[in-house]
Each structure stands twice: as C-alpha cells, then as structure tokens.
Amino acid sequence: MKRNLLIVCICAILVSITATSFAQKLSFGEYTGINFSNLHGNLTTNKWVSKPGSSAGFFVEYNLGKLFSVQSEIGFISQYYEMKSYNQQNYYPVAYPMDYMLYGYSNSWYPVYEPSKWDFSFLRVPLLVKYKTPTRLQLAIGGGLYYSILLNDDLTNAERDAAEKEDRRIYPPTHDWGYLFAADLSYPITNDIRLFVSSRLATGQKVFIESLKGKNGSSELGFGIKYTPKSKKEGFQKVETNIPDSSKTKCYIRPVAGILLGWNSSSTKPGNYSTNIGSTTGLAFDYRLNNTVLLQTGILFERKGYALADSSLYYHRFASDSKYKRNSIDSKIDLDYLTIPLNIKFSFGNPFTFYFDFGVYTGFKVNALCHGTAIRKYISSSSYTIEKININDAVEGYYKDVDFGYQTGLGFQFPFRKNLKFDLGIVYSGSFSPIIKDPEENTTPYANDDRSIKNGTIALQFGLQIPITH
C-alpha cells in the first residue's frame, strides 16, 4: 500500500513539474461521442450491420510551435457488431402455379431474421501527430497509431493457456492495435478554452474474430473542450494576425478536401464497370525551388473505387463460367487509401496564380468494402423464386496492400486573407498495374475471371494555402 502511495506521489510531482515548465506548450481536454463499428477483413458470406457505440477520453497535447502538435490520451470505446446471414435476412417472393392457389396459397413474402452480435469494450491509448491552421476557427488534422486493451474479457489466463496447449481457437485476443486518423474543428470561447468537434477513422490491424478473419474498425464523431494555459498578453488578435509573410517563405501547407469520381481504368473490361463517387481529404506540402517550380508532397485519405452492374459470380468484380449460374449484380466497391504523392509543380502569376503539376503516388490500402444488391432466381417444377440480397462485404483480401500510380492536375489560387490563398484544383490519377491480388492456391479457376482492375480517379479539390516561415 505504501509503495503504491509513493508511486502516486512521484507521478503527481512529475506532472506538476511538467505543467509548470511547459505550461504554454501543453493543452488538456476531454471529449465524448459516438462511434459506428466497421468490422473489416475479408468477409463475404454475411451482411455486417454498423452499430453505434460510445467513446470518450481525456487527452494531453504538446504544441511543437504554432502549426504542429503531438497528442496522446486515455480513452474508452465500445464497439458492437451485428451479423445477418444472407440466407436468413432476406425476403423471398414466391409465385406458385395455379393449382396451388386452390389450396389457399398465394403470392407472399416470408421474412426470416436471426441476428448474431459481438460486443467489445476497449481502453485505448493513441499517439497522434497533428497539423493546425493559425486561424481563430482552427482546423487540426493528423493521424498515428493506437494500442487498446480489451476490458470485457471473460476468459482467465489459465483458460487461455489451456486452450493454447490443446490447440483450440479462443477469441477475442486481449489487446488490439491499429491506425487512427483524426480531424478537429475548434473555436475559442475564452483566451484559454476552445470547444471542438472531432471526426475519426480507426482501422485495427489485428485479427480479432479468428473464425471470420475480422478486424476492428470504427468511424467516430465527438465533441469536447480543450484548455491551453496562455500568457495574459496573448489574445484573439495575436492568433488572427500572426501569419507569416509569403514573400519570405519557401514552404507552404494546404489543408484540402474534395469530391472524387473513381472507375476501373483497365483497358480490358469484360464486365460492365462504371463510376463510383468518393472523397478526398488531407494535407499537401509545397516547397519552392525557384519562382516557378515547386516540389509537392503530402498525405491524403482517399476513397476510390468503381461500380459493377452485370451478371457475375463475384460481387466485387466480373467472373463467369458456363458451369456455374451467375447472379445479377448492382454493386459499388469503395477502396480507402492513405496516399502519399510526389509531384513537380509549376506556378505562374501573383497574386492570382495558375498552376499545373504531375508526378507519382503511393497508396496504402486501409479498407475495401463492397455494397449493393444481387438478384438470384430459382426455378423448379412447382415454383419460381426471386431472392434479393443486400450486399455489405469486406473484401480487403482480394486487393493488393499498396497501389502505385501516376497523377497530374491543374488549378487556380485566389488571395483570401492577408497571405492566405484559396485553392481550387482538379487532379487526375491512375494505377500503373492491376490492384487485384493473384489467385490463391486451391481456389476455383473460373473461365473468365477479371483481374485487370486498376484505379482511375478525377478529383475536384478545395484548399487553403498557408505560408510557413521559421
């Protein structure tokens, strides 16, 4: 007991010393909100329904100058998953022959519903790096890693050890880890206090439901308050006017967001592919080499993809074989990537600027989802049955983890306020090679199996260019 009390006292002293030494570099706060579960992996046999859960936490943020910060926290998140079997959750319209009508049968619907649920609660500790705009209405965007500990674990260590020795599958594991992307929008109500709204995307990397090869994930929306001790001389006016002179800088940063149109850019298209609407958001960095040429990079979260409207053996790509009966498919495939571009940019004019750029990108796959409808028909001597399936599959296992490609774009920049510029641009990109993985061993070889799918996108982006000086 005395030892624990001593540890608590030492921690309290260290915290007080840290708060005293770095008072104006540290921010403290709390948030609470809601999350919607996203069980991802390679789940193609059932429909997974997103369920709401709670999330909350206390955080500390260390400011690395005026634009960047590092944040950690102790948080709680509860995630709920609900599965509905394709064969149990649909309605079947059945049309019987006329002689069946004599016995009282008629066209009717037969609903069958039997859900299964998985509930998890975690203690989560993330480490995030964020960029913050130097404005009163402040945008902060960034990402990092998290480690979480399962709280509602009913298995003892002895039971887990016995199961491992007997080679029995026991899930869930006691911990999880993954990537966390965050965007906050805050507004000051006093010199020291800001209110904020936060959105997050978490993607677990550990297989958590072994029998399904499922990994945890969530989309989160939260609200909170942040306290930052400041000197008495610092106020709103300093935050508003302390923007660097663009004539003395070579570095620029641009928070961007936009709408993206994606499609299958492969030249061989045996299936009927079409476009799918997605989105893009992130940060772009520009480094000026001379008055005209800049080097451009950044980090973006992009939802690419395509649509499939055809009769196929797969829901996410075209496949056919005379030995098997195909289903009528109307699906959309959402492919989420964390993208890092590297471009050469040419800029002309001042203060109104026209630019064009070209280069390459590397996209790291985060999620792959297939959703839509499929129609199956069954014909027998006594009935004709039509089955409508609501598709909601996680199809990560079919796509490569990394996508390499090219991109080019053009745009305009308009003076917005002081040295800030509003940016409007169009970006076109395409994959160098197919994004579908090679077939695994012992898989069914279909006569026509389209693996030539490539990402193709065109995005309309909006941004705000902010000069950075030392």
| Angle in degrees, CA 183, 186, 189, rounded to 5 | 165
Tell me which of 19-33, 91-105, 310-324 is least confident. Answer: 91-105
| Largest separation between any pair of C-alpha atoms in the chain | 91
* DSSP output for 286-346: EEESSSSEEEEEEEEEEEEEEEEEEEESSSSS-EE-TTSPPEEEEEEEEEEEEEEEEEEEE
What is the residue-averaged pLDDT of the chain? 78
What token pair was written down for 147?
């480690």
10, pLDDT greater than 80: no
pLDDT tens digits, 305-352: 999 988 888 888 888 888 888 888 999 999 999 899 999 999 998 888
- Between the two ends of the chain, the Cα-to-Cα distance in Å is 51
**Rounded average pLDDT over 35-53:** 73
Give pLDDT, residue 19. Answer: 44
**Rounded average pLDDT over 237-264:** 70
Give pLDDT, residue 159. Answer: 67
CA-based radius of gyration for the chain: 27
Of 396, 338, 52, nearest to 219 (Cα)? 52
Using a cut of 0.95, tell me whether the model's pTM lies above it: no
What token pair was written down for 377?
């028909």
Query: CA 254 to CA 468: how far, in whole Å?
Result: 11
Q: What percent of the chain has pLDDT over 90?
A: 28
Give pLDDT, residue 84. Answer: 63
User: In a 3-state reduction of DSSP, which class is residue 272?
Assistant: coil
Contacts of 12 (CB under 8 A, 6+ apart): none
Q: Token pair 């007080």 is at which residue?
A: 16
Which backbone phi and psi does 170 adopt, to 5 degrees? -125, 125
Number of alpha helices (DSSP H) and beta strands (DSSP E) in the chain = 5, 24
Residue 301, CA distances (Å) to 140, 217, 384 in order: 15, 16, 46
Query: CA 194 to CA 192: how far, in whole Å?
Result: 7
**Rounded average pLDDT over 15-31:** 65
305: region left, alpha or beta (phi > 0 left; psi from -120 to 50 alpha): left
Query: CA 409 to CA 463: how far, in whole Å?
Result: 14
208, pLDDT greater than 90: no
- What is the number of residues in the chain? 470
Domain annotation for the chain: domains and CATH numbers? 23-242 (2.40.160.20), 243-470 (2.40.160.20)
88, pLDDT greater than 70: no
Residue 97: pLDDT band (50, 70, 90) is: very low
* Beta strand pairing call for 138-150 and 116-132: antiparallel
**Rounded average pLDDT over 112-134:** 75
Give pLDDT, residue 260. Answer: 94
Give pLDDT, residue 346. Answer: 94
172: cis peptide before it, omega within 30°? yes
Residue 166: pLDDT band (50, 70, 90) is: low
Contact 344, 404 (CB under 8 A): no
395, pLDDT greater than 80: yes
130, pLDDT greater than 70: yes
DSSP H or E run through 86: helix 86-89
**Rounded average pLDDT over 237-244:** 44
Contact 397, 409 (CB under 8 A): no
Give pLDDT, residue 339. Answer: 92
List, as own/partner pairs, every contact residues 410-413 make where C-beta atoms lie below 8 angstroms and the sequence separation is at least 24, other chains included: 410/354, 410/355, 410/356, 410/357, 411/354, 411/355, 411/356, 411/461, 412/352, 412/353, 412/354, 412/355, 413/352, 413/353, 413/354, 413/355, 413/465
pLDDT tens digits, 178-200: 999 898 888 888 888 898 989 89
What token pair was written down for 276?
């799918």
